[in-house]
Homo-oligomer: A and B are copies of this chain.
């Protein structure tokens, strides 16, 4: 029986969805990768407000496709991840939490490469929330937006390599995390350029989701991630009848 994975891109950039699905298929060639994307919403996620909108759209998307074996939420802010967990019993993995779980198994210290400087506080807070702040030597911004990330933008890849080298040489990074789903298809190129392991959350996220499924570990339905309460919604369908 084949493993069916919902790969949720919380933004509306079809190109990113396609590129991330290709990464997922490379990692899990025998699985059925189901790319999911909201019909409306931001084309990329760069601010708290974009993320708030996207998290609600992740809820919509997962509610609309509730029968897959596992879900990956493929935006580095992990928008709506705990919300999605409430809506299904299958395991749900965010690419940020996946990347941090993987990188800390192969390095004692890592650095995070991100898009815009304004996102640094949110990333630092996320490192704290995930319990890995002490392992991170720095969050380094490119000042290049999400829209210009990915294999189609070789200049961006060069900029990532330059920033990554600085993280290794000056800050003591032993590995890098790429903090944007849009960077998924350049991880190997950056690794070659910098010379330390480079961790992309999409690749490790889909592998982790598969591992949880394989181990028979479903989302707990006791406590915080139980099915939503049956409360009325006005003007839109309730989460639970």
What residues make up the interface of A, taking CB atoms closer than 8 Å to B?
Answer: 12, 27, 39-44, 46-53, 55-59, 79-80, 82-87, 91-93, 97, 101-109, 116-122, 124-125, 128-135, 145-147, 168, 172-175, 188, 191, 195-197, 199, 203-204, 207-208, 210-212, 214-220, 222-226, 228-229, 231-236, 238-239
Contact = CB atoms under 8 A, between A and B. Distances in A.
A65 B101 CA distance: 26
A204 B213 CA distance: 10
Contact of A195 (B43, B145, B207, B222): B222
Contacts of A234: 12, 39-43
Given A93-B105, A145-B231, A172-B120, A239 B49 contact: yes
A185 B105 CA distance: 24
Contacts of A27: 214-215
Copies of this protein, total: 6
A48 B83 CA distance: 5
Nearest to A40: B235
Contacts of A145: 229, 231
A207 B203 contact: no
A225 B108 contact: yes
B43 A220 contact: no
B107 A231 contact: no
B225 A174 contact: yes
A113 to B, nearest CB: 16
Contact of A132 (B131, B208, B218): B131
A203 B50 CA distance: 30
A229 B175 CA distance: 20
Contacts of A103: 217
A231 B43 contact: yes
Contact of A107 (B44, B197, B220): B220
A39 to B, nearest CB: 6
A174 to B, nearest CB: 4
